[in-house]
Amino acid sequence: MLDASSLHELSVLLVEPSAMQAKAISSQLFDQGIAHVNLVGTGQDALRMIQQDTPSVVISALYLPDMTGIELLYAIRNDAAVSSLPFILISSETRPQVLEPVRQSGVCGILPKPFNEQQLGAALNATLDLLSYDASLEQADLDLDSVRALLVDDSPMARKHIRRMLENMGIMNFLEAQNGVEAVHLLNDNMVDFVVTDYNMPEMDGRALVEYIRSQSWQNSVPILMVTSEANNERLAGIEDFGIVGICDKPFNPATVKRLLGDLLKGHQAS
């Protein structure tokens, strides 16, 4: 993955078959301070361009002539050489069953069509947060070598996305589980400093995992952060009563997660 420390340094591959839409989006990108935008109109052209000159981020429409933006995203995620490439989807689609695979794939944003300056800026800054190293924990003189995180998510791509963000904070020790049952087994035998868990998972979901940790685990006070695409507030009701650090939506804002975990680790190692 390419490093970047400002929006001006980002190179964007825009995948948009409509010349009119491409011109409008390019103009919005320039207004955000993006100096380098390459334009293609199909998924296959995008994949070829990525291999020739890997951009900082891919921004794609959902419907392309030869594939969907989701299929393009999965082709990128399944290519080991570029699997961590930041991706932003632009779509007027709102159905959860269509967008759920995107949310689970570690994207930096899903922009509505049309989107405004604030929405585009948030997605681009999330991309920048993912690409840039955050030295704030090191500067706080924390012993990051001893910090161990447990990541719980049934999506390998989502786990990789969260792991990349935590590595950018200097955290390098991880345990991973694809559901709550696996997480319980790991917690029985391994001490961890914090848990990042999804909500919707097979076997044992995030709510059941949180309830187990707080009521039955010998690590019942371990800090927990929930990162989820769950939109049903009734299902999420009461989760915070179990003392979790916070709930972040998928796709999440890396700056928010960094702030929550930064405060958590500073408080944890100071105590």
Pairing of strands 173-177, 194-197: unpaired
Bridge partners of 194, per DSSP, are 149
Residue 195 CB coordination number (10 Å) = 27
Distance CA 250, CA 218 (A): 29
As to burial, measured by CB atoms within 10 angstroms (0-12 exposed, 13-18 middle, 19+ buried), residue 236 is middle
Instruction: Fill in the amino acid letter for 98.
Output: V
Q: Where are the domains of the chain?
A: 7-131, 136-270
Q: What is the pLDDT at residue 1?
A: 44
Q: How far is CA 182 from CA 88, 178, 201, 204, in A?
A: 31, 7, 11, 9
- Residue reference for tokens 């997480």: 183
Q: What is the pLDDT at residue 158?
A: 86
Is the C-alpha dihedral spanning 264, 203, 77, 11 positive or negative?
negative
The shares of helix, strand and coil residues in the chain, as percent rounded to the nearest 5, are 45, 15, 40
The whole-model pTM stands at: 0.81
Q: How far is CA 138 from CA 9, 126, 129, 144, in A?
A: 24, 21, 16, 7
Distance CA 73, CA 107 (A): 9
Distance CA 148, CA 171 (A): 8
The topology (CATH level 3) of 7-131 is Rossmann fold (3.40.50)
Q: In the chain, which ranges are E strands?
A: 11-15, 36-40, 57-61, 87-90, 109-111, 148-152, 173-177, 194-197, 224-228, 246-249
Walk along the chain (271 residues) and give the pLDDT tens digit of each residue.
445 568 888 999 999 999 999 999 999 999 999 989 999 999 999 999 999 999 999 999 999 999 999 999 999 999 999 998 999 999 988 887 888 888 888 888 999 988 999 999 999 988 888 888 777 777 667 777 888 999 999 988 889 888 888 888 888 999 999 999 999 999 999 999 999 998 888 888 888 999 899 999 999 988 888 887 655 455 545 555 556 767 777 776 777 777 777 777 766 555 5
Q: Which CATH superfamily is domain 136-270 in?
A: Response regulator (3.40.50.2300)
Distance CA 89, CA 99 (A): 10
Joined together, the tokens standing for residue 256 give 């928010």
